[in-house]
Copies of this chain bind each other. A is one copy, B any other.
Amino acid sequence: MGYDGNLTPLFDCSCLPKRSAPYTEFFGQDIIAVSQFDRRRLAYIFQRADEMRDLVTHGGVSDLLRGYVLACLFYEPSTRTSASFIAAMHRLGGSVIPITQGVQFSSVSKGESLPDTIRVLEQYSDVIVLRHPDVGSAQVAADAASVPIINGGDGIGEHPTQALLDLFTIYEELGGVDGLKIAMVGDLRYGRTVHSLTRLLLQYDVSLRFVSPDTLRLPLNLMNTVIDSGTNVRETDSVYDVIGDADVLYVTRIQKERFSDTKAYDEVKDAYEITPALMRLAKERMVVMHPLPRVGEIHTAVDADPRAAYFRQVRNGMYIRMALLAAVLGQA
């Protein structure tokens, strides 16, 4: 059945640039949960993320991931997370299949299982970022896949790249993590990012302060884990108790839906808003962080304060994702 004409070969494969993946720490691994990261592996990723910052900051253009294809499979929209991964891949010369809308209307609506969808997409791509509303779906995908899966958030489960970028921001802004007093403020009960960051921080010598209304306190089992770790920890319902000596103020979004009536919500909202007046009580060298989007938890007048780190935090997300993509593809 061979072609009977005289077809000139398209490629001389021996002359083409090759993608090679030497053995590296994260090569071929899935990124599913923060529990995969000990201090050594965190330091590894942070050093790589630092190099990514240098690359971008100095206007360097790299082809580190040229020829690699990332599939962004988002079963629920997340403009921020998908944009961050897309930018990360592009800035390293790689390309992206964006499936960030309408997954539900296509194969999935025909009843295709997540493992099947993953097995199809891995035929086209070298790495897959999955965002899915169901807890545990990232692991289901990883079990099905032969390419690395990066968990871009699985419901109220994990969102490890967010936790990594949070910790990386503390590290970058303050030059390290050990010895810091870190206060988490707002909805500590449902705030997924608070839970993951807290777990990462337990590996360091830090003091933790949890500031929330009574109905939104840190879940019991996580609080017990913190206590059992021997970490210095206190809970309070007033941000004034921590503002004076906190090195980090990690503020989270308080959702109206968590309250039975608008009045209760408004009271809490006002009591926890970070304002310029409050910032005058804070140390000169400290940082305010927020996973964004915010809806009033931090007054916009704080944005100009050099201690406001939340937009730099966003940028760090891109560097962390550049580092992770390069790492699991064996290129970093």
Contact = CB atoms under 8 A, between A and B. Distances in A.
A277 interface: no
B83 A124 contact: yes
A318 B120 CA distance: 11
B77 A106 contact: yes
A2 B212 CA distance: 33
A105 to B, nearest CB: 5
A83 B67 contact: no
Interface string A261-287: 000000000000000000000000000
Given A79-B103, A106-B79, A293-B110, A59 B123 contact: no
A176 interface: yes
A138 interface: no
Interface string A210-228: 0000000000000000000
Contacts of A317: 123
Contacts of A86: 97, 124
A156 interface: no
B90 A95 contact: yes
A23 interface: no
A71 interface: yes
B294 A124 contact: no
Q: How many copies does the complex hold?
A: 3
Contacts of A111: 293, 295
Nearest to A331: B10
A301 interface: no
B294 A1 contact: no
A59 B124 contact: no
Nearest to A83: B97
A149 B253 CA distance: 28
A269 to B, nearest CB: 12
A241 interface: no
Contacts of A116: 292-294
Interface stretch (A12-20, A188-196, A231-239, A242-250): A12-20
Given A91-B67, A97-B86, A176 B18 contact: no
A58 B177 CA distance: 43
A312 B315 CA distance: 38
Nearest to A94: B90
Contact of A61 (B3, B19, B315): B19
A77 B55 contact: no
Contacts of A119: 303, 311, 314
Nearest to A87: B124
Nearest to A104: B77
5 contacts: A1-B178, A9-B51, A10-B51, A77-B106, A120-B314
